[in-house]
Amino acid sequence: MKMIKLGKTGKDISKMGLGTWSIGGGSAWGGDHDLQTVVDTICEAPKVGINLIDTAPGYNFGNSEKIVGMALKKMKREDVTIITKCGVTWDQEMKGSLFNVVNGIQLYKNLNSESIRREIDASLERLGTDYVDVYMTHWQSVDDEYYVPIEKTMEVLNDLKAQGKIRAIGAANVDIHHIEEYLKWGDLDIVQAKYSVLDRAIEEDIIPCCKENGITLQAYSPLEMGLLSGTMPRDYKPVGAQIPKKWFQPENMQKAMDMMDAWKPLTEKYDCTIANLALAWILGQGDFITLLSGSTTVDQIRENAQSAQLELEPEDVAMMRDMAEALDK
């Protein structure tokens, strides 16, 4: 597994990380999984060279963190880099701005300083550790009524860093102006953003900014919620969070499947799967980029880890981009 540096920390992280959005279970997160199977999947990560594990309290109301914590008990803490997040709450008196309603429970966006301090302690307890390697703001507080300046958010994050509860600071779901503001008030080592061969919006400004400022870019949903796995049948019916997404609309989904059919000669050339190609394409976009693989079984994480070993030839990377760009025309 190829390693890169985490921002300016000097810490080595794997080019591929394990995302536990689905591992937490729950109907909004792809359904429940066998507990032993997902714990085994997390424990398998370091064995296949993946030392980066991403979670969040908002993944099934803390359940993802609890499961990661179960796996950590079976691992050496220093062997893994744990990312968790703050800013999405459901259980505090101080609410914040409305976010999503999941299973009848209202989620709020809340980056108030007091809320962040409560969140980190709850996360550490669920994870069963006394520090997290990266603490990331999950969503930005931008609504007028509950607006929290990034300066204030960084103030509390820098304090948690000084206390040793967190080792590095990250931000997810940000725009270029958010990133520029974070950089005014301290070190920002990693930015998490949606990125796939089908969704390349961050290439306009966020990727250049990260590259210029020594920030690691972490791509999530590189397989577009499983669509780019190449395993869905033509008559697949979207479920849960897939339903409103652009590429799960019937016409778009068929176009994407046509594109993947055209990739089949590449699977033979590189002796790999469609999913391997989609992940390798992301990894080939820069040495400051890592991605999250949402594996939920040992076999899946082993297969996805193989993507990091693929080195696509430049003309194949360009061809895949051309095919994807043609779908938007």
Q: CA triplet 317, 320, 321: central angle to 5 degrees? A: 85
Find the helix packing angle between 206-213 and 176-184, rounded to 10°.
Answer: 20
* Within-domain flag for 36: yes
Domain assignment present for residue 204? The answer is yes
Q: Is the pTM of this model over 0.85?
A: yes
Domain membership of residue 325 (yes or no) is no
Residue 146 sits in which domain range? 10-233+275-311
User: Does some domain include residue 70?
Assistant: yes
Cβ–Cβ < 8 Å for 109, 141: yes
DSSP state of 23: T
Q: Which residues pair with 217 in a beta bridge?
A: 191, 289
Query: Which among 59, 108, 195, 270 is annotated as catalytic?
Result: 59
Give the three-state DSSP class for 79. helix
Residue 255 lies in a domain: no
- Residue 265, judged by CB atoms within 10 A of its CB (0-12, 13-18, 19+), counts as exposed
Within a domain: 244: no
* Residue 236: active-site member: no
Q: Are the C-beta atoms of 190 and 182 separated by less than 8 Å?
A: no
Tens-of-pLDDT digits for all 329 residues of the chain?
899 999 999 999 999 999 999 898 887 777 888 999 999 999 999 999 999 999 999 999 999 999 999 999 999 999 999 999 999 999 887 788 888 888 889 999 999 999 999 999 999 999 999 999 999 999 987 666 788 999 999 999 999 999 999 999 999 999 999 999 999 999 999 999 999 999 999 999 999 999 999 999 999 999 998 899 999 999 999 987 889 999 999 999 999 999 999 999 999 999 999 999 999 999 999 999 999 988 899 998 998 888 888 999 999 999 999 999 999 87
CA nearest to 239, candidates 22, 37, 38: 22
CATH number for position 222: 3.20.20.100
Q: In the chain, how many domains are there?
A: 1
Q: Are the C-beta atoms of residues 19 and 54 closer than 8 Å to each other?
A: yes
Residue 29 lies in a domain: yes
